[in-house]
Amino acid sequence: MTITPTPQLELPQLDEIVDGLPNISGWEDAVQVVTSRTTPVFLPHTNLRLEEVHSACAIALHMHQPTVPAGWEGALINNLQYMFEHQGEGDNHNAGVFAWCYARMAEFIPELVSQGANPRVMLDYSGNLLWGLRQMGRGDVLDNLKRITCDPAYQPYVEWLGTMWGHAVVPSTPIPDLKLHIQAWQHHFAAIFGWEALARVKGFSPPEMHLPNHPDTLYEFVKALNDCGYRWMMVQEHTVETFDGQRLGYKHLPHRLVARNSQGETTSITVLIKTQGSDTKLVGQMQPYYEAKSQPEKPTVGGVSIPSLVTQIADGENGGVMMNEFPDAFKKATYEMMHQSRTVAMTGTEYLELVAAAGVHPSDFPTCQPVGQYQLWQYMAQENCTVETAIAAIQESNPNFHMEGASWTNHISWVQGYDNVLNPMNQLSAQFHAKFDPLLQQQPATTRTFSYRQALLYNLVLQTSCFRYWGHGMWTDYAQRIFEQGKSAIA
């Protein structure tokens, strides 16, 4: 692995909250320097030897609560706070359990390590939730997480994954805002956990596992990830296909996702394949570990024999299985792994760094592209037409064909029927950029001003997936209120 010198820049100590707002902008140069580091993260500290491992599992816990205009006089608060304040509504009585779930890995990891075990977990927390915990006075949760994030004794066992700050589904997010979400999360994470912790965040978890399949959106997304220092991303198995339009063959290997835009430009990023849908029982009962145990002979990539990796992510707090069964299942599987080295737990970056050290280059991985692109490229080649012309023509003969992206489930469209959310979302984004882009050209430090940060906050919050996922009614009403507040902030 090539090691490049770390650029020198004086890194300021960031405040987590600035003028009452989460610290989501203002230090873009520093974030760029820190995230561009290419030195290995886990390799110097891992206690695993690749040649001894037959197969591995990697689990990630996704944590999110949306920001909603449900506070005093419509103030933005976290939905978890609303749950605590309205215990009699729906399943809000679970608020306390949810809060515990957000902190409990800080209990499990030290406990297991103290007993000689070798646990691994990846954590994916939305910016909405990180801010919300601070807003509602639950700094204890963040302090617990700091222990396993910043204490060198526990860093080898825990990997944080970056994500979109406002839990926005990428395919229907305005393209100019993709990088803003990514950088906002990096700012906020650094303000909470420090620059060194941010330097270790190399994997990305897209909200709802939603991958763009429109060529231009995908290209800009992957380009933004690369620009922001990410080395790999997790994708859902049925959101990608081979270059000849087939389902992936062996899914327990890293792949190289190739993004080609309508102008023929290409970029790529390594992806780990999340398998078998979205059922939280898979992680809750540690199915990835037991599947990893049953894998056949070690596959060969680039002439090197490497372990299979069974990768899964699930909500870390949602549902009875994750609330009640996961703790014991996680500990049981971890204790079982203490007594053998054939099947082990790894984090995504740890696995990829071990594989790289063994001599496998990312170009050796099998390639893939988003689902539907084979049909698109074939049609364009035959008809010598543009992307948009090809999409329209294919849809005419195949109503099921679309370029809206694909996520962990195919029964939800994040676009159809949601003009009452998408139109305001696109309008607010356009107003934001119309006001601030010219200012940024003249004065980049504009990103440190209260007016910019407040406007950015509303722009990102409005794009939260929950305002569509939960259907019409209260949630789309929330979106309309945020839109109105956002317009006032930008005016």
Contacts of 485 (CB under 8 A, 6+ apart): 69, 74, 76, 458
Q: Where are the domains of the chain?
A: 17-369
> How many residues appear in the chain?
491
- Average pLDDT of the residues in 308-320: 93
Query: Do residues 469 and 409 touch, judged by C-beta distance below 8 A?
Result: no
At 459-489, the pLDDT tens digits run: 999 999 888 766 667 888 999 999 999 999 9
Provide the pLDDT for residue 403: 78
Class of domain 17-369: alpha beta
Does the pLDDT of residue 417 top 80, yes or no? Answer: no
Does the pLDDT of residue 365 top 60, yes or no? Answer: yes
Burial 374-387, CB ≥16 within 10 A → b, else e: bbbbebbeeeeeeb
Residue 406's pLDDT band, with cuts at 50, 70 and 90, is: low
Does the pLDDT of residue 179 top 60, yes or no? Answer: yes
Burial 172-193, CB ≥16 within 10 A → b, else e: bbbbebbbbbbbbbbbbbbbbb
> What does pTM read for this prediction?
0.95
Provide the pLDDT for residue 418: 56
Provide the pLDDT for residue 426: 92
Percent of the chain with pLDDT over 70: 93
Does the pLDDT of residue 385 top 50, yes or no? Answer: yes
Does the pLDDT of residue 401 top 70, yes or no? Answer: yes
Strand spans (E) along 23-129: 55-63, 67-68, 77-78, 121-125
The sign of the dihedral angle between the CA atoms of 140, 143, 145, 147 is negative
At 201-256, the pLDDT tens digits run: 999 999 989 999 999 999 999 999 999 999 999 999 999 999 999 999 999 999 99
Which helix (H) or strand (E) element contains residue 345? strand 343-345
At 89-100, the pLDDT tens digits run: 988 999 999 999
Does the pLDDT of residue 2 top 60, yes or no? Answer: no
Which helix (H) or strand (E) element contains residue 367? strand 367-370
Q: What would the two tokens of residue 369 be?
A: 């592209």
Q: What three-state secondary structure class fits 387?
A: helix
Does the pLDDT of residue 278 top 70, yes or no? Answer: no
User: CA 199, CA 38: separation in Å to the nearest integer?
Assistant: 9
Q: What three-state secondary structure class fits 161?
A: strand
CA angle 47, 359, 272 (to 5 degrees): 70
Does the pLDDT of residue 432 top 60, yes or no? Answer: yes
- Average pLDDT of the residues in 366-393: 94
Which amino acid type is present at position 149? T
Please tell me the least confidently modeled range out of 1-5, 151-155, 414-418, 429-433.
Answer: 1-5
Query: Do residues 62 and 71 touch, judged by C-beta distance below 8 A?
Result: no
Provide the pLDDT for residue 276: 73
At 130-162, the pLDDT tens digits run: 999 999 999 999 999 999 999 999 999 999 999
- What integer best gives the mean pLDDT of the chain? 92
Provide the pLDDT for residue 6: 44
Query: Do residues 347 and 292 touch, judged by C-beta distance below 8 A?
Result: no
